[in-house]
Structure 1
Amino acid sequence: MSEVIWITGASSGIGEAFAKEFARLGGYRLVLSARREPELERVKAQCLNQGLDSDDVLVLPLDVTDTDSHTDKVKTVLDTMGQVDMLINNAGVSQRSWCVDTDLEVYRRIFEIDVYGQISLTKAVLPHMRGRQSGHLVVTSSVAGKVGAPLRTGYSMAKHAVMGFFDALRCEIAHEGISVSTITPGSIQSQVSVNAMRADGEAFGIMDDQIENGMDADRCAQEVVAKLLAKQREIPVGESAMEMGLLEMKRSNPEALFDMLEGMTANLRAQGVY
């Protein structure tokens, strides 16, 4: 029976690109989850155009913050598809605001979406994978999950948190035949900055230059999916040499990195950004 890939945040951006890439490869069944059902149906149609049958794609609306629903959502997937071979925790929201201006509730909301929701759904799927002694758990983190960036204190908080959680989970369950992968993208073309939260929680509504000029989401998905299928445990992805270089600087010369980021922040403040 074909493997079942469950993707959250599948209605746009990287999640949509993951769905299309698995459909292009063929031999997989997909579960597409996000809050916006019409957009999920649009993504499903693209997957069918790649050659999948309608029964191969389950549209399952899901709000990751509604953690009380997660057990029932897993049951729906298992009743419909019979199994979950890979769960890609890709739902998330970013931020564009200075810490001193940001409402505490914004931090709470980012954490609920980007961290607690991913943990809750993972824990709901985990008993099934443990019972089968097989499975692959994936989370989309970010370069900001390794490097603290200006205007993203909440986003960096959340992405550092999921990196830590899934790295720790990996060593706990490896002996049960379950793999864990963390994805650390740089700037990928998507609506991430448009949908990011301002200091008051409203949508930022602006396309960042670095996102607009970032890596094409389909190319990102092709690279990531190939590495997921190879069971790579940490997957950095991006075309910006500067962003990818930040990951190496954090390991090799953190003091120089901190100096560089402080200079970057000073420039943003001088420009009156946000």
Structure 2
Amino acid sequence: MQFKGKTIWITGATSGIGKAVAIELSKEAGHLILSGRNEEALHEVKVNCEQNNCKVTVAPFDLGDTDSIEAAFKKIQKSGLKTDALYNFGGISQRALVSETPLFVDRKLFEVNYFGTIALTKLVLPEMIKNGGGHLAATSSLVGKFGFPYRSSYSASKHALHGFFESLLAENKANNIKVSMIIPGFINTNISVNAVDKEGKAHGKLDDNQANGMPADVCARIICKKLKKDKKEILVGKKDKVMVHIRRFIPAIYYHLASRVKPM
């Protein structure tokens, strides 16, 4: 995906990795569509991106509300914009034990992380096919590659994204649809602050691993470089990335390490 002159839709653009990627892409892209729940924050990101002479359209919606997703899509359709790439960064994390988490919290995580992401993807995909192709990316996590304590349904929702987007890719090779799975480790964002606890409320704490994680702007540059190369999996982080390889090649060590994680 060459970004120059392209229209790229970014969800989760109000903060964290999504915001950093939007600012990074604004240096090359012709037009950005920015989405997230907080319209005021989106307009602040818009101002930053426009400083790089990039056109920006704000299309706020709530990933947990399918009607608002469809309304945003219709707004973009009506504007006449053709989406060349859709990069999904929106989502919420979790900090809770399986045994203490009621089902409505699990459903909330899936509604936002999985159903919200695939809802927009299903709207955009037919138009991409009609226009001759496009690039889709979804943000997973290290725990989208393995299970991890206090992340049960967050991890499961990210596993589900892998299955969905790998299937989509296999179905659409002839339609020139490219797919990238973004797999961040610990990145210095507010993801742990906004994570849901066992009651579905905000965790409200910045985890040490997040605080000491890779800066979001550094992460964004790595992601954009690999998106440009149409990488199917984009693993980004510090030493924590090694857990993916440990889980794959030395599972006994993974099981030992995971069982030693303390409550946060």
Query: Which TM class, normalised by the smaller chain length?
Result: over 0.9
Instruction: Please give the residue correspondences for 1:49-68 in structure 2 after superposition, counting only pairs within 5 Å.
Output: 49-52=51-54, 56-68=55-67
Which letter does structure 2 place at the counterpart of 1:251? R
Q: Partner of 1:63: helix, strand, or coil?
A: coil
Question: Is the contact made by 1:78 and 1:84 (CA closer than 8 Å) also made in structure 2?
Answer: no
Q: Does the alignment pair 1:35 with 2:37?
A: yes
Aligned to 2:82: 83
Aligned to 2:216: 217
How far, CA to CA, are the matches of 1:41 and 1:103 in structure 2?
A: 36
How far, CA to CA, are the matches of 2:114 and 2:216 in structure 1?
A: 22
Could you state the TM-score of these two structures normalised by the residue count of structure 1? Answer: 0.92
Instruction: Please give the residue correspondences for 1:41-120 in structure 2 after superposition, counting only pairs within 5 Å.
Output: 41-52=43-54, 56-120=55-119
**By how many angstroms is 1:81 displaced?**
4.9
**By how many angstroms is 1:79 displaced?**
3.0
Could you state the TM-score of these two structures normalised by the residue count of structure 2? Answer: 0.95
Q: State the identity as a percent.
A: 40
Q: Does the alignment pair 1:19 with 2:22?
A: yes
Which letter does structure 2 place at the counterpart of 1:260? L
Question: Is the contact made by 1:196 and 1:203 (CA closer than 8 Å) also made in structure 2?
Answer: yes
RMSD of aligned alpha carbons:
1.3
**By how many angstroms is 1:109 displaced?**
0.1
- Residue of 239, 244, 255 corresponding to 2:252: 255
How far, CA to CA, are the matches of 2:31 and 2:162 in structure 1?
A: 27
Question: Is the contact made by 1:70 and 1:124 (CA closer than 8 Å) also made in structure 2?
Answer: no
Count of residues in Structure 1 that have an aligned counterpart in Structure 2: 261
Aligned to 2:6: 3
Q: Does the alignment pair 1:141 with 2:143?
A: no
Question: 5+ unaligned residues in a row in structure 2: which ranges?
Answer: none
How far, CA to CA, are the matches of 1:71 and 1:191 in structure 2?
A: 27
**By how many angstroms is 1:165 displaced?**
1.0
Q: Partner of 2:126: helix, strand, or coil?
A: helix
Aligned to 2:172: 173
Aligned to 2:158: 159
Which letter does structure 2 place at the counterpart of 1:258? Y
**By how many angstroms is 1:207 displaced?**
0.3
How far, CA to CA, are the matches of 2:90 and 2:185 in structure 1?
A: 16
How far, CA to CA, are the matches of 2:22 and 2:52 in structure 1?
A: 10
